């Protein structure tokens, strides 16, 4: 089995990621997160919000609607830019205009394979929806990116808060694209989630470039701080001709996935493209100067980050599989066991500990099989610590705490456990 097959199988077997509508044969490009997957994904979002919104004084959040007035998409350029006849490379998913012979030929040179192109399609990435109860129904769209929800609320946010330029608006939410070749588990889906910061600055070449460089570092550091292998992360700058329709300049944070270096997050200098399109400006209260701010954007995929955290954490040690997830991301922080399930006094003590820890952390309970099997099972889902109530616990109110990565055990007093784990998770 190759690594992707192993990850896919683990994800299903242990309840991280299931194929969407699986009992009806699935539905291409749609995925469901199981009991452990939802915890992991929520933790990714929580950590993003903490770093990008709570830890900063210059960022606030919004949560805009998925369906917007269709005029938004006209103004943003998405209806026009997404309706060209395109062919997509089956190897690397690059799309080019079918009528751009030069680009087609150039790209063919980058692969050894032949017949790399899909059929040309008039290709609208936007997912249409029909609204209303009477005919004709009104055509609208599921948003193709969450970004526009921030721009259309730019004035609302400025007017309703005391925030002043430079400032950012953060958002996490679902986006939908009619991808023609979804694949690699959740990597390219038709429904996915994005986590984005739109950071508004004064129009100034030098200063905005500096902000762009700063956010590149903020974002790559975030992945590294959450345990991703730095050797598998790099920036990939976009050549001018490959930039999206809105970007002045752009770079991607790529992760070296089993299927090759792959975009995980885009960092874009959008200039005044968006606010100008929507006719929005900003007035500096001090100078009374009015201008169209420029935007630096960091646009990450929640599902791609979640998948790459899973892949990056996967390790095999003989028979043992360990998910070395950062404790901050691990679905369960702690597993609590009674040493033996048929000794009521041990079970009772372990239950008490479980109930106490549950008030502070996401904790799981296990009393199946022997202790070795339980460690094995917890390692495979990335639980950083296992707490066991044993016979010594009944004498001195201490428990063993076993560490996932070192497999070492310590004895810790029950009344010190909460503090111990709080410190570890800091």
Can you give the binding site for ligand ATP, defined by CB under 6 A? 145, 177, 179, 188-189, 192, 194, 263-266, 299-301, 303-304
| DSSP-assigned states of every residue in 265-293 | EEEEEEETHHHHHTT--EE-TTT--EE--
Nearer to ligand ATP (CB atom), residue 257 or residue 414: 257
Nearer to ligand ATP (CB atom), residue 173 or residue 301: 301
Q: Which residues contact 300 (CB under 8 A, 6 or more apart)?
A: 48, 194, 195, 196, 219, 253, 264, 265, 266
Nearer to ligand ATP (CB atom), residue 192 or residue 282: 192
Please write down the long-range contacts of 213-221, taking CB distance under 8 Å and 24 or more positions apart.
215/267, 215/296, 215/298, 216/251, 216/253, 216/267, 218/51, 218/52, 218/298, 219/253, 219/265, 219/267, 219/298, 219/300, 220/253
Min dist CB 326 to ligand ATP, Å, is 19
Q: CA dihedral in degrees (155, 159, 161, 163; nearest 10)?
A: 60
Min dist CB 300 to ligand ATP, Å, is 6
| DSSP-assigned states of every residue in 313-343 | HEEEETTEEEE---TTT-S-SEEEEES-TT-
Min dist CB 293 to ligand ATP, Å, is 20
Nearer to ligand ATP (CB atom), residue 196 or residue 390: 196
Chain position whose Cβ is nearest to ligand ATP: 301
Beta-ladder partners of 335: 364, 386
Min dist CB 245 to ligand ATP, Å, is 11
**Of 425, 7, 217, 183, the residue nearest 417 (C-alpha):** 425
Nearer to ligand ATP (CB atom), residue 191 or residue 379: 191
Min dist CB 307 to ligand ATP, Å, is 9
Q: How far apart are CA 194 and CA 6, in angstroms?
A: 26
Min dist CB 299 to ligand ATP, Å, is 4
Min dist CB 415 to ligand ATP, Å, is 44
Specify the pairing of strand 363-365 against strand 334-338. parallel
Nearer to ligand ATP (CB atom), residue 192 or residue 273: 192
Nearer to ligand ATP (CB atom), residue 30 or residue 420: 30
Nearer to ligand ATP (CB atom), residue 181 or residue 397: 181
Min dist CB 261 to ligand ATP, Å, is 11
| DSSP-assigned states of every residue in 345-378 | HHHHHHHHHHHHHHTTS-EEE--SS-HHHHHHHH
Phi, psi of 133 (to 5 degrees): -110, -15
Q: Cβ(17)–Cβ(186) under 8 Å?
A: yes
Nearer to ligand ATP (CB atom), residue 79 or residue 340: 79
Q: How far apart are CA 87 and CA 109, in angstroms?
A: 16
DSSP state of 226: T
Per DSSP, the three-state class of 37 is helix
For tokens 């808060």, the residue is: 161
Min dist CB 113 to ligand ATP, Å, is 19
Q: How far apart are CA 76 and CA 239, in angstroms?
A: 22
Query: Counting every residue, how long is the chain?
Result: 426
Nearer to ligand ATP (CB atom), residue 170 or residue 301: 301
Min dist CB 19 to ligand ATP, Å, is 15
Q: Cβ(354)–Cβ(363) under 8 Å?
A: yes
Nearer to ligand ATP (CB atom), residue 44 or residue 158: 44
Retrieve residue 354's tokens: 């479980």
Min dist CB 179 to ligand ATP, Å, is 5
Q: How far apart are CA 315 and CA 51, in angstroms?
A: 27
């Amino acid at each position: 089995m190759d690594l992707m097959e192993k990850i896919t199988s683990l994800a299903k077997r242990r309840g991280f990621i299931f194929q969407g509508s699986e009992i009806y044969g699935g539905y291409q490009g749609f995925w469901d997160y199981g009991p452990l997957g939802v915890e992991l994904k929520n933790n990714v979002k929580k950590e993003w919000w903490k770093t990008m919104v709570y830890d900063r004084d210059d960022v606030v959040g919004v949560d805009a609607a998925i369906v917007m007035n269709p005029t938004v998409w006209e103004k943003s350029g998405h209806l026009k830019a997404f309706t060209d006849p395109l062919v997509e490379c089956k190897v690397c998913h690059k799309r080019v205009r079918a009528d751009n012979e030069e680009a087609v030929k150039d790209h063919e040179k980058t692969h050894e394979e032949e017949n790399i192109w899909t059929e040309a399609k008039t290709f609208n990435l936007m997912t249409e929806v029909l609204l209303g109860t009477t005919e004709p129904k009104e055509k609208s769209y599921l948003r193709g990116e969450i970004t526009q929800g921030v721009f259309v609320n730019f004035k609302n946010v400025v007017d309703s808060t005391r925030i002043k330029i430079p400032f950012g608006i953060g958002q996490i939410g679902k986006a939908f694209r009619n991808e023609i070749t979804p694949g690699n588990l959740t990597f390219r889906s038709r429904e996915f989630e994005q986590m984005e910061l739109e950071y508004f600055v004064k129009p100034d070449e030098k200063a905005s470039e500096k902000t762009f460089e700063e956010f590149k570092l903020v974002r790559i550091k975030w992945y590294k701080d959450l345990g991703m292998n730095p050797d598998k992360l790099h920036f990939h700058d976009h050549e001018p001709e490959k930039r999206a329709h809105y970007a002045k300049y752009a770079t991607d944070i790529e992760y070296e996935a089993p299927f090759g270096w792959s975009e995980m997050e885009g960092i874009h200098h959008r200039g005044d493209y968006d606010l100008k399109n929507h006719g929005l400006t900003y007035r500096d209260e001090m100078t009374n100067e009015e201008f169209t701010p420029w935007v630096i954007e960091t646009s990450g995929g929640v599902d791609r980050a979640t998948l790459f955290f899973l892949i990056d954490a996967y390790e095999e040690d003989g028979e043992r599989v360990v998910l070395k997830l950062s404790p901050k991301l691990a679905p369960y922080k702690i597993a609590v066991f009674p040493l033996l399930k048929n000794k009521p006094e041990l079970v009772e003590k372990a239950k008490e500990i479980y109930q106490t820890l549950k008030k502070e952390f996401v904790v799981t309970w296990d009393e199946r099989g022997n202790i070795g099997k339980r460690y094995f099972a917890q390692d495979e889902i990335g639980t950083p610590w296992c707490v066991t109530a044993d016979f010594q616990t009944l004498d001195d109110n201490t428990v063993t705490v076993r560490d996932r990565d070192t497999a070492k055990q310590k004895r810790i007093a029950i009344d010190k456990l909460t503090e111990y784990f709080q410190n570890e998770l800091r």
